[in-house]
Structure formats: structure tokens, C-alpha cells
Amino acid sequence: MVMQEGASEEQIDRVIDALVRMRLAVHRSTGVSRTVIGVVGNTGAIDPASVEILDGVHEVLRVSQPYKLASRAFTPDDTVVTVGDVRIGGDEVIVAAGPCAAETEEQVEATAAAVKRAGAKLLRGGAFKPRSSPYAFQGLGEEGLQMLRRAADRHGLPLVSEVMDVAQIEVVSRYADILQVGARNMQNFTLLRELGLVRKPVLLKRGISATIEEWLLSAEYVLAGGNRDVILCERGIRTFENATRNTLDLSAIPVVKKVSHLPVVVDPSHGTGRRDKVVPMARAAVAAGADGLLVEVHCNPDQALSDGAQSLYPAQFDDLMGELRIIGPAIGRRVCVKTGSGLKAQGSGPTEGSELKAQGSGLAEGSER
Amino acid sequence: MVMQEGASEEQIDRVIDALVRMRLAVHRSTGVSRTVIGVVGNTGAIDPASVEILDGVHEVLRVSQPYKLASRAFTPDDTVVTVGDVRIGGDEVIVAAGPCAAETEEQVEATAAAVKRAGAKLLRGGAFKPRSSPYAFQGLGEEGLQMLRRAADRHGLPLVSEVMDVAQIEVVSRYADILQVGARNMQNFTLLRELGLVRKPVLLKRGISATIEEWLLSAEYVLAGGNRDVILCERGIRTFENATRNTLDLSAIPVVKKVSHLPVVVDPSHGTGRRDKVVPMARAAVAAGADGLLVEVHCNPDQALSDGAQSLYPAQFDDLMGELRIIGPAIGRRVCVKTGSGLKAQGSGPTEGSELKAQGSGLAEGSER
Amino acid sequence: MVMQEGASEEQIDRVIDALVRMRLAVHRSTGVSRTVIGVVGNTGAIDPASVEILDGVHEVLRVSQPYKLASRAFTPDDTVVTVGDVRIGGDEVIVAAGPCAAETEEQVEATAAAVKRAGAKLLRGGAFKPRSSPYAFQGLGEEGLQMLRRAADRHGLPLVSEVMDVAQIEVVSRYADILQVGARNMQNFTLLRELGLVRKPVLLKRGISATIEEWLLSAEYVLAGGNRDVILCERGIRTFENATRNTLDLSAIPVVKKVSHLPVVVDPSHGTGRRDKVVPMARAAVAAGADGLLVEVHCNPDQALSDGAQSLYPAQFDDLMGELRIIGPAIGRRVCVKTGSGLKAQGSGPTEGSELKAQGSGLAEGSER
Amino acid sequence: MVMQEGASEEQIDRVIDALVRMRLAVHRSTGVSRTVIGVVGNTGAIDPASVEILDGVHEVLRVSQPYKLASRAFTPDDTVVTVGDVRIGGDEVIVAAGPCAAETEEQVEATAAAVKRAGAKLLRGGAFKPRSSPYAFQGLGEEGLQMLRRAADRHGLPLVSEVMDVAQIEVVSRYADILQVGARNMQNFTLLRELGLVRKPVLLKRGISATIEEWLLSAEYVLAGGNRDVILCERGIRTFENATRNTLDLSAIPVVKKVSHLPVVVDPSHGTGRRDKVVPMARAAVAAGADGLLVEVHCNPDQALSDGAQSLYPAQFDDLMGELRIIGPAIGRRVCVKTGSGLKAQGSGPTEGSELKAQGSGLAEGSER
């Protein structure tokens, strides 16, 4: 707390009193032109503005981060979230792919088969869709979840699906392996608090106007409830630029990696809103150090009921996966190593080369980050 | 829909097919260098991006607004929301005031008495508080609502209070006269949809990163459910400027007034986050044409449990009301006309409301807006 | 400078060394979990990031403002800029009005006559126009300045006109009384430095993406050159909202008033870009405490060569002036007092100022409009 | 131009008249609920707002881009800017590196040697530095240019350096091979116009609040003057997020690539402002399809006089180059192919450039790292 130049003793005493009332330890340091008052204690609960407004206070500067469980200071080692045999935040970059929304059994199956073939490790797909307009398609609900679950099972892919509301937690949990919180709900604190009590990983998208600090505070709500499996997901922030739907903030990746131990993935589909921008930004996200991607793929995007414009064709997704596998070694990581019953790896043609390459740098992965 | 220069006939046909599949009427206009395809129908449900991505399409331009019930085209006359004898959106500027959060019986009572004395027409106060940090004070819940209700009744002030979640609608409705949706919940569509079924006015705050169009689309969710009493509330948007908590977007007032018939009020307390900025911005909001204000007042702001820094002292609020009354005639309106000592509380009914209105249209304004 | 928890003694020493090399006085304070290093000296020249990047440093917090001559700490009393008998920053709100660009002798004269009649105290008008597109009208140059000067002289209105470049300073100074720096040039440091050597007041518009701190730093460039007559002008910042051309940041007024002694005026014409938004925002600016306005008026806006859409019709401007005069007493100020033919010069002293003010609150509202 | 529902014939006629006066060809299309007026001609010079404000007009939508020479519609093939044997915009990704500012002969030489060794193809370095504060280091001027030129010659690296002002063009042109326009000068139209007459390539940084369209319009100023060698440079935009200095908008790369033929490079140093973010964002930029990078490297960043915090250590830069070479094949490009021991400096001519290109498309990626 920095006092104004020439603040009176009385003003300084009044500030110290206010801080003591808040049960904080106070340490005064009197400088030549200004007095600075240091404060120790549970400052996370204090609004700096409430002190800044006191007479004679020039500025209040926060020294420690307002979140704790989400901070790397508290947990120095990277958190790895495990779902089945998929490890998010480890040495492999994990790609989740699938349709924006489940529409029909055939569409879900065709898309799931395609993304599995290309090497995706998770199936993503929505059954409850938040839409700006009340007149837009809102998802199939539980029926959609059933379609997604069946396809997930058929292809051995854990399922990520969105939960919009406390009331939906129960039904979505029954079908999905990872519960996604959408950008618009990033500060739906009731929902976050409930998800802290759930025993499934939570994928928390960043709100389009949320600072990284607020995003981590929202993660803190879930963590504080006892659920330590939080995956952060950058999906673009709102800026003045309208050439893309949002501005994908890839710098958030190294920033989060420094201050937090939580894995961070990127959704280039919602972040750009245009198919022809998804591929370059997906590559960029991996190159910037993302632990994974969430990519919309649709077996027939031109007829999708929602977000068709940003869904990749299966062949585009397959090409993208090949490109990502080339990038992997640049960051000392593998990207969606093909596994399955050996059969799959054989038929992969051009991408097999990149596998070889990944093997080549096999030593590398031991040490990263 | 504007095609690229040199788009082929085949591309044009493919686009027309896609539009027809969406059940839209299509009208083609072939220009010298470009072909333009006009589309009529329920375009609100269509994502422009899904068409823009088709081969040969240069750009998709939306001609009509995506909301309907909220638009002035649909309802040319101003909506006036009536609560007891308070009319929001009429010829009187209405000020709601009170503490950020209910803390104690004494605090609520002292503040309510002060704001009533200064001429406020509504009591505002929160019992459920959305907070960025899980460690901050989260409100007293139903106990707080009871305190607020008792003070509201004692002073004849209808009560505005926030509802954060579908599950809270029932309890908040029991005590409050106007249900407030906070900025973070502006796109909590489940909540909005439920509020469409409620028989109480809804005060819908603008999200800090919401465009005016998105804000009106959220209002549309409530209106579409059958609840026509929606009050919009501007409370600041997030920009790069950090000298104030948010940037209060007062231009939103004339913009909303042009495209919508709904009343719009301004919350300068959250919009600025600093007491010394609240008073000038409150004056500015009224001068810009706001139908009302939401102002935080606290009987002892230095000890407030939340948002103390932005709460006015009762004496400041009283001065502000005096200043607003001077500004009123500049916009052809009255501001919180004082209604005599406690008499008002007795005769609050629709009849007095109409009387007041008759008076209003008698003097002053004649021509307003 | 806040060290990380667990920073080693060696890291701390290295940081202290770096600071000492920068010739700063250093004061170390060792806390339970963290060490904080205080720094005193000419810190304005230091990039916080260059220290923040050192090993073991958690964060660098700036305590004092990086500008000095522009700060209220340095000059507690309000600066009043005087041009002829017009005093900007005093107890009268000053309105400058006129065409966006000088086009013809007739247009300039008709507009100047109209704004004078309505009570404007300054004539504004451009001869050199910065335009985003190389294909747009770029102004008449010196010929335009001559037209403006003749009209200014005929109506006894000091002239404000823009200078875009060092090379233009000489010619614009020959005709204009106040030199305007446009938003796009707010960080044209070569230009600012030269204007520091000029003996005419400078009206410095805020860049559309400039923080208030950067704006004051740009003012500091002019002040540091020896020119103390700087007028700040808020004209809107760029945000995600596109319903208005920019978002007029009226909160900047009370913010600037607190940290600086310089007068601040508002340009609602460029800030909104739409005529129907100019009037409400002009009223709001005055209500928020602006020292003046810059308003575009055009005798025939529909045929203006630039910015016609935001230019007021003379009759609209006249009405606006009436409304502003009503608002004046709410902020304890007069607004462009009408002075009749030549009488104006008579009694400009602090005493008459107060007298006039007393009058204002007495009759005021009866006559205007 | 979309008319309001129910616009009168008279209003429509008035709008058509206004357009005809602007010498535009007009085509009217009368729909069921609305009339749309199409306009053809030199619309680049028209402010949409000036028509939108006319009575009865609902909205004005721009169909064609306001720039022409910069557009891909006008020039379908990629522009390759050639400087010596360096080709920017071709199949090789070009990295420019060097100190933020020239400080001493030794510093410039040591840094140039290091970046050359790591494979950089261009030397970057400033002699005239635009600084927010008048009290910060402003560069060495011509002396700095001489140091940079000598180092550039010694290492066979073409030189990129910033020009802040028309008056500096002559001196900077004498030493530098590519003239850089900084972000703050992106709309210094006088400067841009002069650079259109110069016979050296111009590297045009995007303003921190400039839309992509405005950036291309600024490029149009240079192109319209006759200088076709414009390189665009993304360096971050201003958003609400403060964890990084700016938000590097990598989506701008695919956007620009679609609408323009000009090469686009990325400056991750200024875009992030922090050394530990530069490396991941440099990788991401190349993965997103950038034609090159501008990276700050300093032989001793802890003692740099400006921007030390964002300058890489030589060893970091060397590692980065290795990582970029791995990424290259993912986008079908080579990254700064090493050209053997000093030979290149001797034979720098356009011919060798073409040779290199031929080679590149032949073997490409086999050898890197």
C-alpha cells in the first residue's frame, strides 16, 4: 500500500486501523517522500479498491497471486490429468476431436471413426449447446449424449462434453468422461462449485473477456471443492479485431505454464470461427507448447446444424495430424502417437514417416519442461 | 451474400442449394463484377460463417437484426416497466440505491433510510454475491433477503436483488420485486429461459464483453418466454484501460434507445469501481438519457464487506440527487421527484402511478425523446 | 520489486547489483516468505520488464507515476490555458465548434456564423486531414487555413486546427491559435517534441488505444520542451463494440482530473461517429466534468466532404448549447456564457466568475432551449 | 444500403439523390419488407456513416474492400520482396535478428556475429527509437546506423532499421536495406506517402489498435506511391489482457494471406515483451505460416539500454533456430537454410537467390538440425 506524498500521520494511522480490522498483519516503512505499508495475511479475500479509496492512499499493489491451489508456487510439478490411458499434461500432446454438436447417429459415428483413424485420443461433442440466440439449434440433450457415448465406446475414445448448468451435471456425468465448462459459464460460480464435488475431470474454457488471473481463479473454485483434475482451455478472447470471431491468445500458453501447474489445451475452432484459420492456428498452438487441442471435425460440415463453418473435413483433420507430428520434436514432445492394435499404424501411409521421426527424437521426451 | 469476383456458375449454384436446404427464400442479382445472393426467411438461426465458408463466397452481410421482440421495429413505443408506483422507462428518471450486499439489519436499515431520504425510488441490495475468488464474502443468502425486504417495506421502496442461478429464482422472487441478472450471467441461457416464465421484472446487466446486439439477444431469451418486463442495465465493458475497473459505455444508451423499446439504466458503481468516479459518471448517465441509475450507497463504506470502495457515503448520494435534479430539465425529464414525508408508502398502487404520470406529462417535457 | 518465494541470496544479490548499476538507491526488506526490494531514483527511464526478467524476481510494481510535469503531485493547481479572452480549464465550460474540414469560403463562413450565434467560444476546423484511405479527401491545406482564419477573425473566435507533421507546424501556426494533435499522432514523438518549442497552446487528442498514462506521457513530451499550455482531449477508444465508431471513455475525465492539473475537453463527434449520438454524449461529457467540448457542426452536413455523418446541423447545435447551459449549475460551472457584441471582454476575473455562477444557479433553467 | 422497414418513397429518393451526387452508379432492389440500394463506383472514398445517417437508412454494408493494390483480388500471386539474395515471401522462412537498439560497436558486432552464426538472414537494429517517455533512451541516431551498417557488411546481412519521420528517411536510407515503420507510425500518413517514393522495401508494423483492414490501407499508401515492396509485420495488438505486453494476433497471418499478396512477418519480441514468451511465440508464428520473424537478440540483454527484457541470449536464439528448422516441413517450407562458412557474403546477388530457391524446392527438409 503506497501512501500519497505528504500523507498525514493521521491518514496513515487510519489506513493501518482499517487493515488491522481486516485481521491482517501490517508492516510500515517510512520513505523520504512516501510511506509504504506492507500487509500479510489472507489478502485474497480483500478488494484492493476498498483500501485504495481511503484518504491519503496513492495506490495498492498486490504482491502475491489471489489463487493458491492453481498456482505453481503451491504445486511446482505439472499436473497430469488421466482418463483411461490418456494422459493430458504429460509428454504427449493430446488431440480431442469430433462434431460441434451431436446431430444423428450416423453423423456421430462417421465423425468419430474419422477422427480415431487420424489419431485423435479423445472424442469431443456437444449435446447441450449454449447459443446467443434463443432461436438457434440448442442440441439434442440426453439423446445426443447417448449417441456420443456409443461412438466413444465403439472407438475406445474417452468423451468430452459440455455441461451448462448445475442441473445438467448428473446427466452429462453419466455419459461423458470429461466435463467441459463453456466460455460463457467460466464465471458461473454455482456451477464451478458443484463441479468441485464431482469425480470427473473438468475442462474449463477461458471466458472471452477473462484475464488469465480470473481464469485461474475460476479453476480455483473447482480445485477448492476437492476436484484436482482441471484442464484449462484457451479459445480466444474478444478484441477490436473482427476478421476472426475471436483473437486466439496463444501467449496465454507460456503465461499459464509459468504461473500454474495445470495442463492447458487450445480450441482453435471456436477461437477463429473459420475452417481455413483452424489448421494454421492448431499448428501454432502446438508449437507454442499447448498440452492438447480441441478440434471440431464434421463428416459433412456444409450441412452441420451448428458451427459448420469452423468444422474441418475429415481429410483436412488427417493432414493436420500429420503436420502436428512433424512439429512435435521441435518442442520435445510426441503428438497423438498412433496406438491401437498395430493395424492402424500400418495403413497410415505418409504419416508413418513422421512416426519414424518421432521415434528418432525418442530421447528428447524424457526431459521436457 | 456476396460472391467473389469471378466466382463460377457452379460455385454460385452450390451456395444457392445450401441456402435452399436451410429453407430460405433466395434472390440472385448478377452484377458486372460480382454476384450477390439475397436471402429471406428465419435467418436468425443461421450462422453467417457457415455460409461464408462455402467456395466462392466473398462475404455474408446481415441485413436484419437477429432479435425481434426486443427490437423497436417490432414494438415502436417505449416499454415502461411498472413496479408498485414506480415506472421505469417513463418520463421520470428512477434511481435505485442501496448497499452492495446486505450485511446486518442495522446496516441495511441505515442505508435504506438514507437513500429514501435522498429520494431514491428503489432499494437495491444483494444477498447472493458472485465473486471472482472462492475465498471472498459470498453474501448472506436468504437471511440477507429478509433484511432487505424488511427495510424495503419500512420505507416503501420496491426491492431489486440478484439471482445467480435457476435454483435461486424461487427464493429471490419471494422477497424481491425486480430480479437482477448479473453481468457474468448475461449468457447463462438456462437462467434467462427460466426468467422468461417468471411474473416479475428482470433487470439484465450487460456482460463486460457483450456487444449491444448480444445483450439484446439475451433480453430476447426472457421476452420469448413471455416475460415482457425487461430492464437493460449498462455497467461497463472490459477494455485495455485499467485506470477504472471497466469502461462505462454511455454511448450504449442512445444506441439502445434507437434499436430497442426497452428501458435502459446505468450502474456507475460497478462501471467505475471507485467512489470518486461514481458521482460524475452518474450525472453523465442521466445527461446521456438513461432511464435510471443503480447506485451503491453504504452507511459506512469503509467497513463494507464487499465493494466498499465504490459505495457512496449517504451525504454524497444526497448531493448527487440534487445535481441530477438540476440536469433533468436538460433532457426534458424529472429525476426522482420527492413525494413528501412517508405519505407515498401508504398510497402505493397503480392508481398513484398513473396520477404521477399525468402530472409528468403536464409540466415540463411535452416533447421528450 | 518482489522476489519469488524461496529466491536464493545469490539471486537477490544479482538483482540488487543490476539496480545499483542503473544508479538507483536500493532498500531491501526481508519478509517471512518473500523479499521485497524498494528502489528510489529516476525510475521513469527504466523498463520494469528489464528487471522483472531477472532470475528469482516475481514481479515489479511501479509506485510513482512515470510522468512529472503533467502530474498534479508536481503542480497541484489546475492549469488554465488562455487564448485571447477564452480561458480553458477555468470555471467556464468552453465549446469549440465548426466544420470537420474547410471546404469552401461559404461553408466555413456559414458554419462559423452559426456556431458563434449559438455561443461557441472557439472555431474548430481542419485543413490537413489524416485519412485511413489514400483515396479519401485530404483537406485543402493552406487555402483552407486562410478560409478558417478569415471566418475566425470575422466572428472573434480563436481557431483550433490540426497539425499532422513537423513540416506543417510553421504554416498551421501562422493561422491557428491552438494547434491540435490528432489521435493517430499522439505518439508521433518527433512532432510532440517540436510542439514543445512552439509558443501556442497544444490540444492533444488521446490515441484510440492509448492508456491515460501514455496520454499523459505524450503531454509530458510537450511540457518538457517548455510549452506549458497543453489541453487534453478525449475522443473515444477502440473496443470490441462496433455500434459506435469508438467508445467514448468519459470516465477518463475524473481520472485525469485526479492525477493531472491539465484541462481536459471531449470530442463527442469523433468519439461516436454518428450525429444522433453526439448530442447525448456532449451533454454527458459536460455532466462528467469536462472543461470543454469539440463539436463538429456543418452548415450542410449531408454534402460534407468528410465526416458529414457526425456533424450537427446548426439548429441541433443551438439546442445542444441550451441543454448544456441547464447542466452547468449541476457541476457548479457556467457553459459558454453569451456575451453579446464585444461586451464579453469586460469582466473576466475570478470574482465575476463566481458572480456569474451564483446567477446561473438562480435563474438558469427558465430560459434555455 | 439497406433501408428501414417502412421507409417512404421520399426517403428512398433522397438517398438515391445523395448517392448520385457522389457520382456512384445506383441499383434499387425492392423487397417485401425492405428496399436495398446497391452502389457501384469508387466507394473507397466514401464514409459509410455519411450515408447511414440519412433518414430511413437502416444500415450500410460494404461489399468490396477499400484497398486495391494490396488486395489479392488485384494481384493474385504472392509478392516476394528481394533484398540481395534474401527473398521474403518465397518458400524460405526468413529470420531477421539483432539488438533492439545499437549501443556500442562491440555490442552490435557481437550480436550480429551471433545471429549470423545461428542462421539469421537479416540484421535488425534501431538507431532512432520511439519511446513513450521523453526521459527514456532515444537511440544513437546516425552513429548507431553506421555501427549497424558496418556489422551488416562484415556478416553479409542486409539491414532493417526504423525510420520515425519524413526527415529521417534520407539518413536511414543511406545505411539500411529495409526501412521499418513502427507500430505507432502506422497511420503517419505523411511518412507513408513519402515512403511510396523511396526505392527500398518498407517493413510496415501493425499498429497496436489497428484492424487488419486499416493495416492494409496503410500499406496501400506506400503502394499507391509506386513502391511495391511492402512487408507486413504483426507485432501484437492491445487487448484487456495484461499478462503480456500485447496480444500477439497470429490469426492475422492466415487472414492476411487470404486477402492480400504481401508477405507477412511476425515480431514476437515486441508482441510479448518477455524473453520467456518470445521463443514459444516465434515457433507458433512460423507454424501459423509467417513468412519470417523479427527477433531481438542481445549479446548481453541484462545490460541493454532498451527492451532488454525481451531480448534473447545468443544461445537461446540458436536453439530457437534449430526448433524452427524442425517445424519448417510441417508447413512445406525451409527455415533460414545455413549457407556455409561465409561464402554467402561474397556472392550475394539475385542470381544466387534464384539458385537457392531451386535447390530448396528440390531437397528441402532432409538435413535440418
Q: Which pLDDT does position A32 carry in this prediction?
A: 57
Say whether residue B25 is in contact with chain D using an 8 A CB cutoff. no
State the architecture of D2-59 in CATH terms: 2-Layer Sandwich (3.30)
- Round the average pLDDT of chain C to a whole number and report it: 84
pLDDT surpassing 70 at residue C8: yes
ipTM confidence score: 0.81
Is the pLDDT reported for residue A50 higher than 60? yes
D81-364: CATH topology is TIM Barrel (3.20.20)
List, as ranges, residues 253-272 from D with C-beta within 8 Å of C: none
Residue ranges of B 292-331 with Cβ closer than 8 A to chain D? none
For D238, nearest residue in chain B (alpha carbons)? B240
pLDDT of residue C348: 34
Gap from A239 CA to chain C (nearest CA, Å): 5
DSSP string, B44-97: GGS-HHHHHTSTTEEE----S-S-STTBTTT--SPP-EEETTEEETSSEEEEEE
Residue D360 has pLDDT above 60, yes or no: no
Q: Specify the CATH class of A81-367 in words.
A: alpha beta
Alpha-carbon distances of C9 from A38, C213, D303, rounded to whole Å? 21, 35, 21
A337 touching B (Cβ < 8 Å): no
Yes or no, beta carbons of D29 and B29 under 8 Å apart: yes
Question: Whose CA is closest to B285, among B78, B93, B123, B121?
Answer: B93
pLDDT in tens, D192-217: 999 999 999 999 999 999 999 999 99
- Nearest-Å Rg of the Cα atoms of chain A is 23
pLDDT given for residue A353 in this prediction: 31
pLDDT recorded at residue A219: 96
User: A285 contacts in D (CB within 8 Å)?
Assistant: 284
Whole-angstrom distance, CA of residue B180 vs CA of residue B124: 10
User: What span, in angstroms and rounded, lies between the C-alpha atoms of C337 and C351?
Assistant: 15
> In this model, does residue B64 exceed pLDDT 70?
no
| Residue A193 near residue B134, CB atoms below 8 Å | yes
Three-class DSSP labels, D54-99: CCCEEECCCCCCCCCCCECCCCCCCCCEEECCEEECCCEEEEEEEC
DSSP A152-199: HHHHT--EEEE--SGGGHHHHHHH-SEEEE-GGGTT-HHHHHHHTT-S
Considering chain B, what percentage of its residues have pLDDT values greater than 90?
58
What pLDDT was estimated at residue D195?
Answer: 97
Q: CB distance from D207 to chain C under 8 Å?
A: yes
pLDDT of B234 reads 98
C-alpha cell at D348: 550475394
Alpha carbon of B91: minimum distance to chain A alpha carbons (Å):
31
d(CA B88, CA B80): 5
Inter-chain touch B243–C252, beta carbons under 8 Å: yes
Residue C290 CB burial class (10 angstroms; 0-12, 13-18, ≥19): buried
What's the confidence (pLDDT) of residue C16? 80
Q: What is the pLDDT of residue A131?
A: 76
Give the pLDDT band of residue A116 (cuts 50, 70, 90).
very high
Window from C52-66, C159-173, D353-367 with minimum mean pLDDT: D353-367
Examine the pLDDT at C53 and tell me if it is beyond 90: no
- Report chain A residues whose CB lies below 8 A from the CB of D255: 243-244, 277
CA distance A271 to A263: 18
* Averaged pLDDT for residues B235-252: 94
Contacts of D132 in chain C (CB under 8 A): 66, 187, 214, 217-218
CA proximity to C164, closest of C204, C202, C218, C128: C128
- What do you get for the CA distance between the two ends of chain A, in Å? 36
The residues spanned by each domain of chain A are 2-59, 81-367
Evaluate if residue D24 carries a pLDDT over 80: no
Look up residue B100 and give its DSSP letter: S
Cβ(B330)–Cβ(B153) under 8 Å?
A: no
Q: Which residue has the higher pLDDT, C186 or A131?
A: C186
Q: What is the pLDDT of residue B173?
A: 96
Nearest to B239 among C239, C258, C285 (CB): C239
Look at residue A82 in the predicted model and tell me its pLDDT: 97
Element (H, E) at C298: none
Compute the mean pLDDT over every residue in chain A, rounded to the nearest whole number. Answer: 84
Tell me, yes or no, if C31 comes closer than 8 A to chain A by beta carbon. yes
Task: Give the end-to-end CA distance of chain D in Å, rounded to a whole number.
Answer: 56
- Residue C4 and residue A29: Cβ atoms within 8 Å? no
Answer whether B228 touches D (CB < 8 Å).
no
Among all chains, which residue has been given the C-alpha cell 552464426? D117
Q: Do domains D2-59 and D81-364 have the same CATH topology?
A: no
User: Region A54-63: what's the mean pLDDT?
Assistant: 69
**Percent of chain C, pLDDT > 70?**
83
Closest CA to D73 of A95, B7, B309, C263: B7
d(CA D297, CA D36): 56
Task: Give dist(CA D109, CA D313) in Å, integer.
Answer: 14
- Determine contact: B73 vs chain D, CB below 8 A: yes
Confidence at B45, pLDDT banded by 50, 70, 90: low
B55 inside 8 A of chain D by CB = no
* Chain A positions in Cβ-Cβ contact with residue D281 (cut-off 8 Å): 250-251, 254, 288
Interface of C with D in 137-176 (CB under 8 A): 137, 164-167
**Worst-scoring range by mean pLDDT, A26-35, B79-88, C145-154?**
A26-35
CB pairs under 8 A between B and D: 40
Closest residue on chain A to C237 (Cα): A240
What CATH homologous superfamily does B81-362 map to? Aldolase class I (3.20.20.70)
Compare all CA atoms of chain D with the CA of C312 and give the residue at the minimum distance.
D53
Helix axes B212-224, B252-259, angle to 10 degrees: 50
* CB contact (8 A) between residue B29 and residue D31: no
The total number of residues shown for chain B amounts to: 369
pLDDT tens digit sequence for D125-169: 989 887 777 777 778 889 999 999 999 999 999 999 999 989 899
Q: Which residues of B are less than 8 Å from C284 in CB distance?
A: 250, 284-285, 287-288
Summarize the confidence of residues D237-257 as an average pLDDT.
Answer: 94
Minimum-distance CB partner of C212 among B241, B258, B289: B241
Instruction: Tell me the one-letter amino acid at C6.
Output: G
Q: Which residues pair with C234 in a beta bridge?
A: C266
Contact C208, C246 (CB under 8 A): yes
Task: Name residue, grid cell 459415428.
Answer: A109
C5: left (phi over 0), alpha (psi -120 to 50) or beta: beta
Whether residue A366 is predicted with pLDDT greater than 70 in this model: the reply is no
Instruction: Say if CB C95 and CB C317 are below 8 A apart.
Output: no
Tell me the per-residue pLDDT of C23-51, one tens digit each, with 9 for 90 and over: 666 666 665 566 777 665 555 556 666 67
Q: Which residues pair with A204 in a beta bridge?
A: A181, A232
- Chain B residues in contact with D40 (beta carbon < 8 A): 31-32
Count how many residues are written for chain D. 369
Give the containing element (helix H, strand E) for C124. strand C122-124
Q: Which of A128-132, D10-14, D207-211, D363-367 shows the highest mean pLDDT?
A: D207-211
B324 grid coordinates: 441530477
How do strand A2-3 and strand A57-59 relate by DSSP bridges? antiparallel
Cell 459558454 maps to which residue?
C336
Banded model confidence at residue C128, pLDDT cuts 50, 70, 90: confident
Burial (0-12, 13-18, 19+ Cβ within 10 Å), C63: middle
Which grid coordinates are listed for D246?
A: 500485447
Would you call C28 an interface residue with chain A, using a CB distance cutoff of 8 Å? Answer: no
D138-145, long-range: CB < 8 A, 24+ apart = D139/D101, D139/D102, D140/D101, D140/D102, D140/D103, D142/D171, D142/D175, D143/D102, D144/D101, D144/D102, D144/D103, D145/D102, D145/D171, D145/D172, D145/D174, D145/D175, D145/D176
